[in-house]
Amino acid sequence: MVEKVIPIRLDEGKGQMPSIPGQLVAAHALTKDTRGRPLRDLRISVTDRCNFRCTYCMPKEIFDKNYPYLSHHELLSFEEIARLTTIFASLGVEKIRLTGGEPLLRKNLEVLIEMLAKIRSTAGQPLDLTLTTNGSVLRKKAAALKAAGLHRLTISLDGLNDDIFKKMNDVDFPVTDVLDGIAAAQEVGFTNLKVNMVVKKGTNDQEIIAMAKHFKGSGITLRFIEFMDVGSSNGWDMSQVLPSKEVAARINEVFPIEPIEANYPGEVAQRWRYVDDSGEIGFISSVTQTFCHECTRARISTDGQLYLCLFANEGFDFKTLLRSDKSDLEIANAVMATWAGREDHYSEIRGSNTIDLKGIRKVEMSYIGG
C-alpha cells in the first residue's frame, strides 16, 4: 500500500514569482542555463486528470475519488497557453509536446492544437507539435487531431498481455482498444508514431520481446523507458528498475540490433535499429544513463507553473503573470531570467549517491506531464 501524501496541487499558485529584469531586452534564442544548456523544448500539461491509474504515475491509493483535481478556472485557458507558447517560441523553443494526465480528456483540445499550429519558430518554421496519450480515446479523436495540425503522436502501452496491461493501468482497460487507437492514427495519416513502454522489473518485463516482435517492421518506433522516481506517490524502488542495457541485451538475443546516431542534440531516447533494417527502437534511461548534461526541456504545469526539471519540487508562477497587465516582452524576459538561473541535474545527483534524496518531495508526473 502506498502511503497517502498531501497532493502536490494544493501548492497551486504558490510557486516562486518569476523575476522580471529592470532592464528589458528583446526576446532572443541565445539564453543558456548555468550548465550551458539552451531552451528548445516545452512540454505543456493540459489536464491533471486521467482515466488510467497506472501504478507508476497515478496510483489509486492517492488519486481516488476524493483527490482535489484542479478546477476549470485554475487551468490555463487555450488563449493563455497559445500566448505563452508564442513567447517561448520567440526564445528558441522549436518543439511543443502536449501532455497530462491524459491530454485527450481536455475538452475541445483540437481547438488548442489549431491555435498552436499557427505559431512560428524564430526561423519562421511551424513548431514541431506533438502529443502523448494513453490511446484510450484515440479512435474517436485521431481524425480531429490530424485535421487541427498535430504533427506527431506518442502512445503509452506497457504490454500486450491483457492481464499484465490491466494490472499496469489498474482500471481494467484492454490492450485491444489501445491498439485500435494506434490503428486509427495510422488510418488518418499520422506517420512517425512512437509507442512508449515503461518497464517495471517483476511486473511487465516479460513483455519486452512480445512488444518488440509486435512493432518490428510496423513503421512504429517502440521505446523502452526505465521505471523512474517521478513524484512522491509511485512507491519507486531501485530494485524495480531494469536497466536499458539489459533490455537491449534481451532484444538483441532474439532480434539483433545496433546503435545509431541521435536525430538532434538533447534527444532523450538512445536510438537503435534492427540489423535486418526492419525498423528502429529506442531506450530512455534517465535512471542508469543520465542525460542531464544536454537537457533542453522545460515544463508548464496544468495551472501555469514553469518547472525546469521533471524531478523538481517547485515551479515558477507564470499564470499570475499571464493574468496580470505584464506585456509579452516582460514575460519573455522573466522566462529568460528563470532559465538563465537553471542548474537542475537531479538524475546525475541521484546517480552519484552523494546526497540522501529520501524524503525530498517532487512534483507529480500527472501535474506537469511525463
Count of domains forming the chain: 1
Rounded CA-CA distance 302/363 in Å is: 12
Question: Is 46 strand, coil or helix?
Answer: coil
Domain assignment of residue 19, yes or no: no
The predicted structure's pLDDT at residue 268: 79
Amino acid in position 219: G
pLDDT, position 310: 77
Q: For the chain, percent helix, then strand, then coil, each to nearest 5?
A: 30, 15, 50
The reported pLDDT for the residue numbered 241 is: 87
Tell me what the mean pLDDT of segment 166-191 comes to: 96
Reported as a single tens digit per residue, the pLDDT across 228-238 is 765 554 555 67
Contacts of 229 (CB under 8 A, 6+ apart): 236, 287, 311, 350, 362
Determine phi and psi for 258, rounding to 5 degrees. -145, 150
Higher pLDDT, 361 or 61: 61
Strand partners, 196: 156, 223
Rounded to an integer, the average pLDDT of 24-31 is 98
Q: How many CB atoms lie within 10 A of CB 176?
A: 11
Average per-residue pLDDT in the chain?
Answer: 88
Asked if 13 contacts 317 with a C-beta cutoff of 8 angstroms, the reply is: yes
Highest mean pLDDT among 162-171, 210-219, 345-354: 210-219
Per residue in 357-367, pLDDT tens? 455 554 655 56
What integer pLDDT is reported at residue 254 of this predicted model?
97
3-class DSSP state for residue 293? helix
Tell me the mean pLDDT in the region 145-174.
Answer: 95
User: Is omega for the bond preceding 101 within 30 degrees of 0, making it cis?
Assistant: yes
Give the separation between CA 360 and CA 52, rounded to whole angstroms: 26
Judged against a pLDDT cut of 60, whether residue 9 lies above it is answered with no
Q: Does 139 fall in a domain? A: yes
Sheet of strand 95-99, all strands in order from the earlier edge strand to the far edge: 257-259, 270-274, 280-284, 221-226, 194-199, 152-156, 128-133, 95-99, 41-45, 297-300, 305-307, 316-317
CB 312 within 8 A of CB 365: no
Convert the pLDDT of each residue in 296-339 to its tens digit.
Answer: 999 999 999 999 987 777 899 999 999 999 999 999 999 999 99
Confidence of residue 264 (pLDDT cuts 50, 70, 90): confident
pLDDT at residue 10 in the model: 44
Taking Cα atoms as reference points, which of 317, 369, 286 lies closest to residue 96? Answer: 369
Inside any domain, residue 4: no
Across 62-67, average pLDDT: 88
Residue 21 within a domain: no
| CATH number of the domain encompassing residue 79 | 3.20.20.70
Residue 288 has pLDDT above 80, yes or no: no
Q: What is the pLDDT of residue 8?
A: 44
User: What's the pLDDT score for residue 245?
Assistant: 94
Name the residue type at position 104.
L
* Residue 309 in domain: yes
Q: Cα(first)–Cα(last) distance of the chain, in Å? A: 23
More confident residue, 34 or 370: 34
Closest CA to 338 of 319, 322, 315, 360: 315
Structural domain boundaries, residue 299: 39-368
Query: What is the average pLDDT across 148-158?
Result: 97
Alpha carbon distances (Å) from 116 to 59, 82, 132, 186, 319: 32, 6, 16, 22, 18
Q: What's the predicted TM-score (pTM) here?
A: 0.89
With contact defined as beta carbons under 8 Å apart, do 370 and 132 qualify?
A: yes
* 32-42 pLDDT tens trace: 999 999 999 99
More confident residue, 356 or 138: 138
1 belongs to a structural domain? no
